[in-house]
Amino acid sequence: MTYAEYPVRSTKKQAPGPQEFSDMTVTRFAPSPTGYLHVGGARTALFCWLMAKHNKGKMILRIEDTDQKRNTPTAAQQVMDDLRWLGITWDEGPEVDGPNGPYYQSERRDIYDRYMKQLLEKGSAYYCFDTPEELNALRQEAIAQKKNFAYPRPERFPDEQEVAKAQAEGRPVTVRFAMPNTDIIVHDIVRGAVRFGVDELNDFVIQKSDGVPSYHFACVVDDELMEVSHILRGQEHLMNTPGHIALQDALGFRRPQYAHMSVTISEGGGKLSKREQSKTLRNAIKTMATIDLEKVAEVGGLSADEMATFMANKSNPDAPQISAMAEYLGVHLPEINVIDFLKSGYIPEGMINFIALLGWSPGDDKEIMALDELIQLFDITRLTKSNSLFDRQKLTAFNTEHMKMVAPERLLEHFKRYLAINDLPMGQADDATLAHILTACQGARTLADVAAKCNFLYQDVTGYDPKAIKKVLKKEGVKDILIKIRTALDSLDNWDDDSINKAVEELCTQNDVGMGKIAQPIRVAITGSMVSPSIHDSLVLLGKERTLGRIDQLIEFMDTL
């Protein structure tokens, strides 16, 4: 079948079915390991995974590490950790293996070489010896003429002798793919039929001068060999697709189905990226009146010059430097990477649900969905065409819902991981205590809220919130009440919910006051603030001795008011 004959029925619902593929749906997530997994990548992975699971197929994880300059050795591991935290698993790939490995492209060189040779022999690809400077000049010329740059394909392709000669002269040797002389129509599940004219199509590089295949080539070869039936990726790849299709045809490969997803935009506008974090930090620094810039630079490990260019909006330091400076200044950076959300106390169930709704919906009013519902309802044809903005407030709302829905044991697991990654003293507590803290904080929006609300358990009261002083302590008769509370609590034989509740209720009736008059002074005494879980939970968690001690401490403080 040629491109033109490929059936076009609807622009959306029915993209043509894969021709020669088995019934098995195979998707793949193919990150390039340059750092932590960010939300955009997580969304792509999620849709690949949902699609595979919904169709009882499989998802492959493939690491696209053909560019040595960009890859860091630990990045692949980080990406896998982040995927696992989200609950996204892969059926084939690193650490689980499978019949089509290896799953690191850097280990597949011999495979690519075979196909490269085939293409060269067929005359579908040819060697080039241009230097970057020459190429650049060509491009400038095209711009000057207001034309699209297209590599000038030679009349006759260089032979092996010329290659050897070029090599001897020290010229770079690359291989370009000779694009066929036809328009190419991409049949996309999301976008329908998209036509690319011959004039737009360019002979692109498929083998770099270091001998490594380019992304385009490796990706096409691997997708065929790994039997990938559906390629889900960001719309930034749409323009690459005609090239990939032509490559598939030249190599006699099958054509997978494509779905180019819309992009996720950040609140500040533009693509969600680290740049947003630099921007937030920079703006925060600018609003700080008294600030020791030298000290900040030192914390971030930047030289004075680097700091200056950063502040002048001319450079963006690396993520660790940004984080170090933000932490030092107490600036909360917008979360970008999956791990940022973990650190901020979001749980994977909430993240997954929220991300799934960025560019997809089940078609009715259903929004809060557990993982198995998501799998059951997922339908690739329902992907939205337009870009969507990442709204953290809505994420928080979803997180709140899932905090209530998740099984207690699971929430406990998430909580322990949260405490560990933030290295909080609460992490030393035993499971029973943590479980109690969690139930005492039902309704919390994030795990960070839980930790903050119960932080008083792990920290002495060193002062009192001015608002608490004004609203609670400076009221008539508080000191007397406090003394009565102390006496009542001291006399309790059992330190449990019932006894504490009963004691507090009795204090209310005896003194003819409402709950607030008793509960609030206690709260201020034990936390120094006006926020804590219910009184009975707070007191049980704190223990009798410490409770009484903190009440004494407050009674003493009352005299200084």
By CB under 7 A, what part of segment 261-290 binds RNA?
262-263, 265, 269-271
DSSP track, 397-444: HHHHHHHHHS-HHHHHHHHHHHHHHHT-GGGGS-HHHHHHHHHHTTT-
Work out whether strand 264-265 and strand 388-389 pair parallel, antiparallel, or are unpaired.
parallel
180 belongs to the binding site for RNA (CB under 7 A): no
Cβ at position 71, least distance to RNA in Å: 9
Please say which residue, 81 or 200, places its beta carbon nearer to RNA.
Answer: 200
Q: Which two tokens stand for residue 230?
A: 């559906």
- Could you tell me which of 328, 374, 330, 332 has the C-alpha nearest to residue 351? 374
- DSSP secondary structure letter of residue 470: I
Task: Verify binding: residue 183, RNA, rule CB under 7 A.
Answer: no
Nearer to RNA, 52 or 504 (CB): 504
- Least CB distance to RNA at residue 26 (A): 18
Distance from C-alpha of 361 to C-alpha of 384, rounded to nearest angstrom: 8
CA atoms within 13 A on the CB side of 303: 2
| Backbone CA torsion sign across 109, 114, 119, 121 | positive
Contacts of 455 (CB under 8 A, 6+ apart): 426
Task: Map tokens 């405490």 to a residue.
Answer: 419
Could you tell me the smallest distance in angstroms from the CB atom of residue 491 to RNA? 20
Q: Which is nearer to RNA, 434 or 524 (CB)?
A: 524
Give one DSSP letter per residue of 192-249, joined into a string.
Answer: EEEEE-GGG----EEE-TTSPBPHHHHHHHHHHHTT--EEEEEGGGGGGHHHHHHHHH
Interface residue with RNA among 56, 404, 470, 475 (CB under 7 A) is 404
For the CA atoms of the chain, what is the radius of gyration? 31
Residue 472 Cβ vs RNA, minimum distance, rounded to whole Å: 9
Q: In this chain, which of 384, 433, 511, 553 binds RNA, going by CB under 7 A?
A: 384
Which residues, 6+ apart, have CB-to-CB distance to 417 below 8 Å? 85, 342
> Does residue 357 bind RNA (CB under 7 A)?
yes
- Smallest separation, CB 216 to RNA (Å): 7
The answer to the question of residue 81 lying near RNA (CB under 7 A) is no
Site string for RNA, 8-47 (x = CB under 7 A): --xxxx----------------xxx---------------
Choices 119-127, 132-140, 302-310, 371-379 (CB under 7 A): range interacting with RNA: 132-140
Q: Show contacts with RNA in window 534-553 (CB under 7 A).
A: 534-536
Determine which residue in the list 46, 50, 64, 220 makes contact with RNA, applying CB under 7 A.
Answer: 64
Cα–Cα–Cα angle for 101, 106, 109, nearest 5°?
80
Phi-psi category of residue 26: left, alpha or beta, with phi > 0 → left and psi -120 to 50 → alpha: beta
CB within 8 Å of 548: residues ≥ 6 apart: 486, 489, 490
Distance between CA atoms of residues 491 and 494, nearest Å: 9
Verify binding: residue 445, RNA, rule CB under 7 A: yes
Which residue type is seen at 448? A
| Residue choice 18, 67, 251, 484 for contact with RNA (CB under 7 A) | 67
Q: Does 118 bind RNA (CB under 7 A)?
A: no
Least spacing, CB of residue 148 vs RNA, in Å: 4
Task: Using CB under 7 A, pick the residue from 25, 277, 399, 520 that binds RNA.
Answer: 520
Question: Which of 24, 22, 19, 26 has its CA nearest to residue 226?
Answer: 26
Q: Beta partners for 337?
A: 38
Q: Which of residues 407-436 bind RNA (CB under 7 A)?
A: none
Question: Judged by CB under 7 A, does residue 531 bind RNA?
Answer: yes
- Residues 302-321 contacting RNA, CB under 7 A: none
> Taking CB under 7 A as the criterion, which residues in 484-503 touch RNA?
none
Q: Is 423 left (phi over 0), alpha (psi -120 to 50) or beta?
A: left
**Contacts (CB under 7 A) with RNA, residues 217-236:** 219, 235-236
Residue 129 C-beta: closest distance to RNA, Å: 8
109 binds RNA (CB under 7 A): no
Round to whole Å and give the CA distance between 559 and 352: 53
Nearer to RNA, 394 or 416 (CB): 394
What's the closest the beta carbon of residue 542 comes to RNA, in angstroms? 14
What is the H or E stretch that residue 279 is in? helix 274-287
Count H helices and E strands in the chain, helices first.
24, 11
**Scanning the structure block, which residue is given the tokens 């200084």?**
560
Q: Contact with RNA (CB under 7 A): which of 39, 205, 281, 489? A: 205
| Pick 291 or 515: Cβ nearer RNA | 515
* Single residue of 28, 453, 486, 550 touching RNA by CB under 7 A: 453
With respect to RNA, which residue has the nearer C-beta, 24 or 198?
198
Whichever of 21 and 151 has its CB closer to RNA, that residue is 151
Q: By C-beta, is 326 or 536 nearer to RNA?
A: 536
Instruction: Give the nearest distance from C-beta 547 to RNA in angstroms.
Output: 14
Using CB under 7 A as the binding rule, the residues of this chain from 236 to 255 that contact RNA are: 236-240
Among 109, 208, 282, 484, binds RNA (CB under 7 A): 208
Binding-site size for RNA (CB under 7 A) equals 93
Of 8, 212, 339, 555, the one binding RNA by CB under 7 A: 212
